[in-house]
């Protein structure tokens, strides 16, 4: 049993884990065996993060939008396709007028890994609202197309993004980051040292998934 498993077991014994009657955790929506809530150390991040996720993401086994939201106590998580008339999002856009960015690989995006204007942009982004779209590339394109209130937001992107560490979900390209990895990278870039807490939860959940896959592969072969 590794350190994370020990911590999880101990916290579960202390009743940190909350379950619904059907055996799913109220918070992370995972079955009891896969609940990761005891690993969370939520904090208020700078910049503030908004995750807009496609409704189909809910069906997937490994979604990191919710995980990201649970790691950041001042973040927002909204589901939908067309956000043009989304009341809360529009209130936030008004509150953060001229201080909202969307993370998206657009031709006119400011590249976060370009050192030239680094400091000026770091200050600008760290006091802003950063919007991320969570879904397949196809769904994300549709969400952006239909959400007219997002069209005029300045974009941020990674020209040379770090390689995704996710091993259980097939990414279209290895440089396509999950929502959690992308958020952690933005936070790290903006000088938020606690970005590591997101990575810790993520790595632990990925390690669990890999372990689970190995075990089920073994048991299937033993049965055969
Ligand atoms: Zn949970």
Of the two residues 200 and 213, the one the predictor is more confident about is 200
Report CA(217)–ligand 1 centroid distance (Å): 25
CA 38 to ligand 1 center in whole angstroms: 7
CA of 51 to the centre of ligand 1 (A): 19
Distance CA 172, CA 204 (A): 22
Q: Is the pLDDT of residue 155 over 90?
A: yes
Percent of the chain with pLDDT over 90: 46
In which residue are the tokens 């396709």 written?
Answer: 81
Q: Is 33 exposed, middle or buried (0-12, 13-18, 19+ CB in 10 A)?
A: exposed
Read off the pTM: 0.82
Indicate the helix (H) or strand (E) that contains 26: none
Residue with tokens 């991320």: 132
Ligand 1 geometric centre to CA of 16 (Å): 9
Give me the mean pLDDT over the 85-113 stretch.
93
DSSP readout, 52-89? EE-GGGGG-S---HHHHHHHBTT-EEEE-S--TT-HHH
More confident residue, 160 or 17: 160
């Amino acid at each position: 049993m590794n350190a994370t498993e020990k911590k999880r077991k101990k916290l579960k014994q202390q009743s940190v884990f909350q379950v619904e009657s059907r055996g799913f955790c109220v918070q992370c929506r995972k079955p009891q065996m896969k609940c990761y809530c005891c690993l969370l150390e939520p904090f208020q991040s700078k910049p503030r993060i908004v995750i807009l996720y496609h409704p189909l993401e809910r069906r997937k086994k490994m979604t990191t939008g919710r995980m990201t939201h649970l790691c950041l106590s001042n973040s927002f998580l909204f589901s939908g396709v067309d956000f043009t008339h989304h009341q809360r999002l529009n209130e936030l856009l008004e509150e953060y007028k001229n201080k909202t960015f969307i993370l998206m690989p657009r031709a006119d995006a400011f590249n976060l890994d370009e050192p030239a204007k680094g400091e000026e942009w770091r200050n600008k982004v760290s006091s802003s609202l950063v919007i991320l779209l969570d879904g397949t590339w196809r769904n994300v394109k549709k969400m952006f197309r239909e959400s007219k209130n997002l069209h005029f937001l300045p974009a941020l992107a990674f020209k040379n993004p770090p390689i995704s560490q996710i091993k259980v979900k097939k990414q279209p390209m290895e440089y396509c980051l999950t929502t959690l990895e992308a958020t952690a990278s933005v936070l790290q870039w903006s000088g938020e040292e606690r970005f590591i807490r997101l990575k810790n939860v993520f790595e632990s959940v990925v390690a669990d998934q890999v372990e689970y896959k190995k075990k089920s592969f073994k048991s299937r072969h033993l049965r055969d």
